[in-house]
A and B are shown apart, each in its own frame.
Chain A
């Protein structure tokens, strides 16, 4: 008899449907898991590799000494440095231009590891906005301001 009732309830489907509706009602009241993107952002994990930045030393000069280590190390060949004579006595060269093609970059972080002067670094910025391909080639001013 008990078994019969159990099977009847199963065949009726309605108890199962009500159980399902109870579940979905609970879900209606639960906190939502959506991140409302532009207003709230998920925290970036430690060591995230985003946009590059060129560092400055304590006197506000770019740390880069145009050694071409990053350009050599770059597997995507997106770094292009033009060196110039340094106006300061403590180094030989400074970059006259330092351009990174962000469209080519694969964000591997090899440039950061190759740099002997700790002058280039990958930030945690992962949003990049541009309306043309030219804008995606970052020059030294852009990289220093990052």
Chain B
């Protein structure tokens, strides 16, 4: 008999409506799964058992009354711990927010609740979403369910791990430079970053405001459509959210790729990309070609500079975004016998971890008098070049493809001492953030160590329909059915 925790959202939803199981059954399945897996993974920072039970019961009552609030009614969903949940700890994995319970819900949380979703808890991340491994969490590293000596990627490593292992049916993460797509690639899940502005950022604890975007983790492309549809759309609380119709995200899932023009980004297919990743990427490109896509090469020469630009823009924005953590109104306050200014300095130095401090310093420097134009200003102009090159590429191609991450999951501690090597993890994902375009990672195979490999599909702004159409075909062509050992039945059968 199938463990309910292994169902997709689409299957679980069908079962709820056919009466095969209840929302409480689904919640029990993921809770039971988590009880085993959390000891290995540490993917959840907080499990809101009470809230989830209430929501599951409410969903069952609603079904009993014949009320249906949408495809997520009764489905257990996890949230990255940088999204504000009223009354439930929200820490961004930082000591500076330890124990903080927001007095309000993020828009995405409110929309999920309104849609009847069962929110299981909050998942681990690199502190303030700064990192690519979840090692920068103040509350311990999350492990990769395929190999617990390895990282799950980051910064949304917790969300990726819970979906990979089945301790939630789906999850939301945030992606500033690859923080959804890279952990999706490293955990064998489908991770998607929508067009900037498609999902409200209200209540998402900001890292870099012009790059941050919330998106879904799921085990299938169809599930990620369901998750995105539940939360996408204009929000009056976010001035940068797109005030217009939501694209028909899942309309063309079954259309295949015949006749579509697929561009392979030259710069992401060479130096620095792991041979196994490269081979799996080429193999998928061949399959797409075999499925009728017109495949061509496209060069994005500025993408070489995108990483450098990103590591100026994101820290600059974060240096201001994180200024509010000062020990005055919430969060950690240092015990200091001195002035408020002393209190602020010590609260911040005690509350922030090293990577966060590093980026705040970097951003402060890049914005300071005398350096602004050479660093921040220049990075913003490079951003324009990257956007322009992408726009030109999309004149010739419907989608662009590349590996998601240069490597498969690396070992815990392997890159911790070398920030630049860590930053390189996002080399293929960052350009979409700079351009504001949608992009997603779909698992296409395993390397020799049995670690998953992600394939990245990129599309122009608001090109979600085409993006998901290609991703669905990639999923079919890959036939990727492997599950991490932590999710297999031996582990969960007493």
Q: Do A and B come from one complex?
A: no
Residues of B bordering A, CB below 8 Å: none
Residues of A bordering B, CB below 8 Å: none
